[in-house]
Structure 1
């Protein structure tokens, strides 16, 4: 990276309309010719009407030029200030060579910046309100940004009134490189305000919350007597409830800095209760530490689906909540729509579905470690419109359509034995149901029995191998998305036989009752739904005339949906799954 550059200002513009018969040469814009001529006059001390003095340096200038480039001089020369009548104006606390560079810029639009002078020039241009130079200095500093200096640069640009976007860009850089930043001496010597701003960010890129906790404790230990008063505030920004129980007990609970302060012990007790009483977790809590950071929620896989009325895809895309971006992943071996998708041992399984001609019994498995799909044992029955849930280290495929009738049969896949076996039948035949797992039990919602759309909900208890009927959906629907947040199971979109739906309802397991929440921004039949952290992502579907590639996010804290970056491919009746980081 270059450590200096000559930076041109924005002085280009329309050329003079004069013509010439001389040999062609690069044309200098008329206004720049004028400025260069005025600069020559200034260099010869001709027609100057003011002298700026900084220390032993005197700089003859023209008031009109200074006022045109600097709000500071505009105010000085156009108001009844003493300086407006002085022939020599003293500029205090500014090196002469820095002032000279800035006045040269006023006449030429050029200034040389390097690592040795950029801080002086930025400070001086901020004082004199020469905004173009401020912007050039900020751009130069951004090019020098690295993990060893980003926090210092942030402090400096904030002190010199740089645009908020610059500060935001530096924050984003520091968050994306937090692991390296936190290991540097600049972090350890940084202010409590800088540390707080960093560790409170939802966009902090970390593998786990342990990294954040460790960084805070290491910062305190650099000067414990002086800094320990900041620990309760900083620890409140660490998402202690997201730490494992073993880490809380073995690391946090035994840390003397934590044990010595009641406020810190209260935060630790709060995190312990989060683990001990999972049924009392409130997904609508506005307190940030009860919600995981974007970088730790996992990666969403959108698998297969129907792109259009004629096209079924084998493609796969993955979504990062931190980046709000979709990227193409390795495609399946077989084209599939109306499939079920589940995750076992960090691997994605694509189950059954339809290739447009046949109902499928085949099952594929994607291993992120090898980046390959491979076949595993097929189901005993072909199933399109199948619902899939992972229960106790095994995967269950419920219902579906075999080409002749809707099914009430359920199969269980044991990945260790690579074997499917039958479990108890559901009481109701159904294709296109929604499936979820909560507290070791399998829930199946709605669907279509071949004649009507269903609101019936069943729950499977593996301990007694039996299905039980529980309160029905508020509205019959098939082609739905289902996902679990806290102790609530959400059901979104689908089709009720009359229209495609945008409505969303949830079953509160604690009360065994249904409630509605804000509808999605778009009706989505054949929608895929999953939880990322404490939020929901609705992916694809069909809204009537169009197959959708859009996605939207539900925030239970605000009870609202917002649009996310769209997929590259339209997908209806696809499958989604999340692999944890």
Structure 2
């Protein structure tokens, strides 16, 4: 017979048994706690007062009973798995929700694989766990859970377009760590895992480094894979612009974890509302213009907490104080509170949860900041010097411009540690009034004007190689556009080029 965990109370009309413990409880209170108990008691109406609950421990039943009477529950790392299983089985939805909230709040690279596997966890927790796994993969690789993946699980992860790695050799290094955990059972899987790396997207130097790795050179299948990759890279380098990719997995770009969002500007002597996004890894621009949006140029653009804010600017008739925000998840434009002052050629930046708008035409000293959760702008202390068409950036770089006589392509870089400026290689194109964004540690410049011509070309500076490289052209030439980076957002896939539609490069 089950022992009672509390003294018998005549007002408590049923006993619930879990394990070897009985809980003397009120039937009506347990019915209010869960439809499971309501159905159980209704199904056995009458004089029956003892009910045995299978597959639930006494400790978990104690938590559930306490919750039924108090309305509160303590979820911990130690009890969450058993508690979620028990409460899902007994349909105690409030505790299930509390467990899923706990998972969301405590999700880390060390536990995301387990949460992703745990099918009882809610879809939100599983989705967030998958997103974290794919976007912080290099941290996940260091976890114990990573070493316990099955071959199929690891293959699916390495095979995914969603996997975010800066360098594809990371995929190989991850495979080696997994193999070395149980080398006798796993070494034979090296060629299959190596083939998941998109090595044709890597530098030739990185591939040659791999070709000198004894771990690979002692495996004839791996040597063949690397030889095939070098052949593909030669084909890619021989391709004429626009850059083309093979359908072969080794040359298929993964999805980006960041995009460039560019909007507005002057084009063919008129203000536009054109909006384009740049898929960095596929080197493609997509037009996502909403033709109901009003045109603007010389405005500021900044990304914050799921929204892209377009601030101030010139609408074709006058400077304006209006603010529009683009909901990245829902793909819609919304109105935000206007600024206190009209500003075009405005500088914008995010800091500590606020959006700042500084200066503007004509050399305004005033500045204000926006608090998103209150949808309100407030004036702040004015600057010492009036400014318009200034810049707010984290990269501490300045590019090109107009010196009053000539359009420039020269570039200088400032080193804050030495307090010195130094020249870096010039851009390939002279340009002024262009957009700049730092993304994946590369400085992108796009659009602009030189002489009397609007520009659609894009190029980027790589600090590692100290070189400028041409990137895919924008769909529309223009100057006075504004742009920003959008990164680590779960809805970025809708702003990328489908990998299945990328053109193929014919085999030779």
Question: Normalising by structure 2, what TM-score?
Answer: 0.55
* Paired position in structure 2 for 1:431: 453
Contact 1:147/1:174 (CA < 8 Å) preserved in 2? yes
2:159 aligned with 1:127: no
Distance of 2:219 and 2:203 partners within structure 1: 22
Structure 1 residue 300: deviation in Å? 8.7
Kindly provide the CA deviation profile for residues 447-496 of structure 1, in whole angstroms up to 9, marking residues without a partner as x.
xxxxxxxxxxxxxxxxxxxxxxxxxxxxxxxxxxxx744xxxx45235xx
Distance of 1:283 and 1:226 partners within structure 2: 35
* Paired position in structure 1 for 2:235: 277
| Candidates 397, 400, 403, aligned match of 1:350 | 400
Q: Structure 1 stretches (4+) deviating beyond 6 angstroms?
A: 82-85, 297-304, 325-334, 371-377, 528-532
Structure 1 residue 163: deviation in Å? 0.8
Distance of 1:85 and 1:167 partners within structure 2: 44
Structure 1: state its 5+ residue gaps: 1-41, 319-324, 340-345, 378-389, 402-427, 439-482, 495-523, 533-551, 561-581
Distance of 1:554 and 1:185 partners within structure 2: 33
Contact 2:349/2:356 (CA < 8 Å) preserved in 1? yes
| Candidates 46, 53, 62, aligned match of 1:91 | 53
Equivalent position SS for 1:59 = strand
2:62 aligned with 1:100: yes
Contact 2:171/2:197 (CA < 8 Å) preserved in 1? yes
* Paired position in structure 1 for 2:172: 213
Larger-Rg structure? 1
Contact 1:55/1:96 (CA < 8 Å) preserved in 2? yes
* Paired position in structure 2 for 1:268: 226
1:228 and 1:77, CA in 2 relative to 1: closer, same or farther beyond 3 A? farther
* Paired position in structure 1 for 2:347: 315
2:114 aligned with 1:152: yes
* Paired position in structure 2 for 1:169: 128
Structure 2: state its 5+ residue gaps: 1-5, 266-296, 300-312, 320-342, 361-384, 434-449, 461-469, 487-493, 503-508
Contact 2:198/2:253 (CA < 8 Å) preserved in 1? yes
2:413 aligned with 1:367: yes
1:286 and 1:312, CA in 2 relative to 1: closer, same or farther beyond 3 A? farther
1:328 and 1:175, CA in 2 relative to 1: closer, same or farther beyond 3 A? farther
Distance of 2:260 and 2:87 partners within structure 1: 45
| Candidates 162, 168, 178, aligned match of 2:137 | 178
1:349 and 1:261, CA in 2 relative to 1: closer, same or farther beyond 3 A? same
Equivalent position SS for 1:251 = helix
Distance of 2:419 and 2:483 partners within structure 1: 23
Contact 1:239/1:290 (CA < 8 Å) preserved in 2? yes
* Paired position in structure 1 for 2:476: 493
* 1:514-529 matches, cutoff 5 A: 527=481
Greater Cα shift, 210-219 or 143-152: 143-152
Distance of 2:53 and 2:191 partners within structure 1: 46
Kindly provide the CA deviation profile for residues 295-354 of structure 1, in whole angstroms up to 9, marking residues without a partner as x.
5x7989999945224465373779xxxxxx9998999998559x9xxxxxx96512228x
Structure 1 residue 276: deviation in Å? 1.0
* 1:84-483 matches, cutoff 5 A: 86-155=48-117, 158-159=118-119, 161-192=120-151, 194-196=153-155, 198-200=157-159, 204=163, 206-228=165-187, 230-231=189-190, 234-251=193-210, 254=213, 256=215, 260=219, 262=221, 267-278=225-236, 279-280=238-239, 282-283=244-245, 285=247, 290-292=252-254, 294-295=256-257, 305=298, 307-308=313-314, 309-310=318-319, 313=345, 315=347, 335=388, 348-352=398-402, 365=411, 367=413, 370=416, 394-397=426-429, 431-435=453-457
Question: Normalising by structure 1, what TM-score?
Answer: 0.49
Kindly provide the CA deviation profile for residues 155-182 of structure 1, in whole angstroms up to 9, marking residues without a partner as x.
3xx14x1111112222333445433332
Contact 2:67/2:73 (CA < 8 Å) preserved in 1? yes
Structure 1 residue 219: deviation in Å? 0.6
Contact 2:399/2:412 (CA < 8 Å) preserved in 1? yes
Distance of 1:234 and 1:327 partners within structure 2: 45
Distance of 2:103 and 2:220 partners within structure 1: 40
1:126 and 1:224, CA in 2 relative to 1: closer, same or farther beyond 3 A? same
Structure 1 residue 291: deviation in Å? 0.8
Tell me how many residue pairs correspond in the alignment.
Answer: 362
Contact 1:352/1:362 (CA < 8 Å) preserved in 2? yes
* Paired position in structure 2 for 1:68: 32
Distance of 1:189 and 1:143 partners within structure 2: 24
Greater RCO between the two (CA within 8 Å, min separation 6)? 2
Contact 2:15/2:51 (CA < 8 Å) preserved in 1? yes
Equivalent position SS for 1:268 = helix
Distance of 2:359 and 2:207 partners within structure 1: 40
2:36 aligned with 1:53: no
Distance of 1:209 and 1:90 partners within structure 2: 55
Equivalent position SS for 2:74 = strand
Distance of 1:330 and 1:364 partners within structure 2: 26
Distance of 2:202 and 2:115 partners within structure 1: 32
Distance of 2:38 and 2:217 partners within structure 1: 56
1:119 and 1:373, CA in 2 relative to 1: closer, same or farther beyond 3 A? same
Distance of 2:388 and 2:497 partners within structure 1: 33
